Amino acid sequence: MAAPVPAHPRDRPIAVFDSGVGGLTVLHELLVQLPAEDFVYLADTARFPYGERTQEELERFSLEIGEELLRHRAKLLVVACNSATAAALPALQARMMQTTLGVDVIGVVRPGGVHAVAATRNGRVGVLATPATVASGAYVEAVAAADPHVAVTQVACPELAPLIEDGFPYDQRVVDTVRGYVAPLRDAGVDTVVLGCTHYPLVRPMLQRMLGPDVTIIASGAPLARQVSHVLGARGLATQRTGEGEYRFLCTGDPENFRALGTRFLQMPLGTVDAVELAPVAGVR
């Protein structure tokens, strides 16, 4: 069911989506940095994980989600999934700007890449990401656009997001898996590592221990939240309300499972999670 139409466009919610609970690490930063805004978050848990999907699948999924979030009167769309950002951002931006609402779309890759370039001291940046994100080369392009002289070492981590999504506590299998993914970055001598999947901040302490205290770890949530703030200001869409806004959740899979795990990622209460069925988008296979 579509949300009621707000009196002014700036009072519409910011929409955020991910394949599962990982994007809640991004939503957490948005809630902290933009406390007066309203948010609606959609988790496509029925089709999790996205990390080994094809570009065509990810484009289709993202466009279906975009259409659903338009029905909830989104004023801005945040793609809190690196795989979807890498595969579908241009198509999603084009589709959303063609709508009567003219909704801007922001992804997590570029803010993380720019922040990594600013942070590196030796010009060697590492990226831990899903196979789909690594194969797209999106982070290599984002870093090169900011500084073509920075070298990027990418490591595909097919097992990591599903292990994190499986829940807590972490066992030796998780520790061994993370250590294996970190090894090529240590060998490359990187001094900055981008967490190219929104699940990975949940193992940040483990990563920091294995990489060493002198390596800077970049998660996309905070720089993305700053970009969202800038876009809202430039478009005249920042809410003028004071106090705390509202946030609500949609889920394509089991709402109870999402709520049980999601609280740990968001670090705040989730409240009600509504089930939603996505509709195919005309002209998209």
Domain boundaries, the chain: 9-107+222-275, 110-219
Structure confidence by residue, pLDDT tens digits, 202-222: 899 999 999 999 999 999 999
Catalytic residues: 81, 197
Mean pLDDT of 138-158: 97
Q: What pLDDT, on a 0 to 100 scale, did the predictor assign at position 7?
A: 58
Share of the chain above pLDDT 70, in %: 95
Domains 9-107+222-275 and 110-219 are alike in CATH topology: yes
Q: What pLDDT, on a 0 to 100 scale, did the predictor assign at position 170?
A: 76
Q: What pLDDT, on a 0 to 100 scale, did the predictor assign at position 285?
A: 59
Mean pLDDT of 31-52: 95
Displacement of CA 77 from its chain's centroid (Å) = 11
Q: What pLDDT, on a 0 to 100 scale, did the predictor assign at position 282?
A: 65
Nearest-angstrom CA–CA distance, 211 and 214: 8
Q: Is the pLDDT of residue 1 over 70?
A: no
CB atoms near residue 208 (< 10 Å): 14
Structure confidence by residue, pLDDT tens digits, 71-130: 999 999 999 999 999 999 999 999 998 877 789 999 999 999 999 999 999 999 999 999
Q: What pLDDT, on a 0 to 100 scale, did the predictor assign at position 171?
A: 83
Q: What pLDDT, on a 0 to 100 scale, did the predictor assign at position 25?
A: 92
Torsion of CA 206, 212, 216, 218, to 10 degrees: -20
Q: Is the pLDDT of residue 237 over 70?
A: yes
**Residue 209, H or E segment:** helix 204-211
Q: Is the pLDDT of residue 230 over 80?
A: yes
CATH dotted code for 110-219: 3.40.50.1860
The band of 5, judged by pLDDT with boundaries at 50, 70 and 90, is low
CATH dotted code for 9-107+222-275: 3.40.50.1860
Structure confidence by residue, pLDDT tens digits, 255-267: 999 998 898 888 8
Structure confidence by residue, pLDDT tens digits, 55-79: 999 999 999 999 999 999 999 999 9
Alpha carbons within 13 A on the beta-carbon side of 263 = 10
- Higher pLDDT, residue 5 or 144: 144
255, 44 in Cβ contact below 8 A?
no
Own/partner contacts of 238-244, CB < 8 Å, gap of 24 or more, are 238/10, 238/37, 239/10, 239/11, 239/36, 239/37, 239/38, 240/10, 241/11, 241/36, 242/36, 243/35, 243/36, 244/35, 244/36
189, 222 in Cβ contact below 8 A?
no
> Three-state DSSP class for 62?
helix
> Three-state DSSP class for 18?
strand
The band of 2, judged by pLDDT with boundaries at 50, 70 and 90, is low
Structure confidence by residue, pLDDT tens digits, 153-188: 999 999 998 888 887 667 888 899 999 999 999 999
Q: What pLDDT, on a 0 to 100 scale, did the predictor assign at position 102?
A: 84
158, 178 in Cβ contact below 8 A?
no
262, 164 in Cβ contact below 8 A?
no
